[in-house]
Amino acid sequence: MKILVSRCLLGENCRYKGDHCRNEKVLALAKEHELIGVCPETDGGLCTPRAPAERIGDKVIAADGKDVTAQYRKGAEIALKTAQEQGVELCIFKAKSPSCGCGKIYDGTFSGKLIEGNGVTSELFLKNGYRILTEEML
């Protein structure tokens, strides 16, 4: 099976702080499945490191006040195109991210409070009928 995976879970230093969140359970899936990495934030044009950002309604705003919604949307579209071209059957995305998070995200106040919701990429993938797990669900 082809699985689309957040690249920070594969060990790439693409998180906003310039680090990764390599996950051994995710990597172990490569024994039986083809893992295809995406990072919607950097693929959409944001640099690393970068200011953290959170969803506020339909927008994504960085902690420095910059509106990064366009980059997030562009990255989501690139990830969706990759999934469609590759015939991806499952996504494993990074929990709580404003791009990749699924089910729970931060509330937009940069206070660490979680609310129900999806990152921009997960939202687009759910609309297109994809199954999404986060690394916390494995």
Give min distance, CB of 4 to ligand SF4, in A: 10
DSSP class of residue 129? Answer: T
Count of residues interacting with ligand SF4 (CB under 6 A): 12
Task: Tell me how far apart the alpha carbons of residues 24 and 131 are, in angstroms, rounded to a whole number.
Answer: 21
Give the list of residues 6+ apart from residue 33 with CB closer than 8 angstroms, or none: 1, 2, 3
Contact flag: residue 8 with ligand SF4 (CB under 6 A): yes
Give min distance, CB of 120 to ligand SF4, in A: 9
The angle subtended at Cα 64 by Cα 60 and Cα 66, nearest 5°, is: 45
Residue number, 41 or 123, with CB nearest to ligand SF4: 41
Contact flag: residue 55 with ligand SF4 (CB under 6 A): no
Stretch 62-91 residues interacting with ligand SF4 (CB under 6 A): none
Residue number, 42 or 131, with CB nearest to ligand SF4: 42
Write down how long the chain is: 138
Stretch 93-112 residues interacting with ligand SF4 (CB under 6 A): 94, 97, 99-100
36 neighbors 86 (Cβ within 8 angstroms): yes
Specify burial of residue 59 (Cβ count, 10 A radius: 0-12, 13-18, 19+): middle
Give min distance, CB of 40 to ligand SF4, in A: 5
Contact flag: residue 39 with ligand SF4 (CB under 6 A): yes
71 neighbors 48 (Cβ within 8 angstroms): no
Give min distance, CB of 20 to ligand SF4, in A: 8
Contacts with ligand SF4, residue ranges (CB under 6 A): 6-8, 14-15, 39-41, 94, 97, 99-100
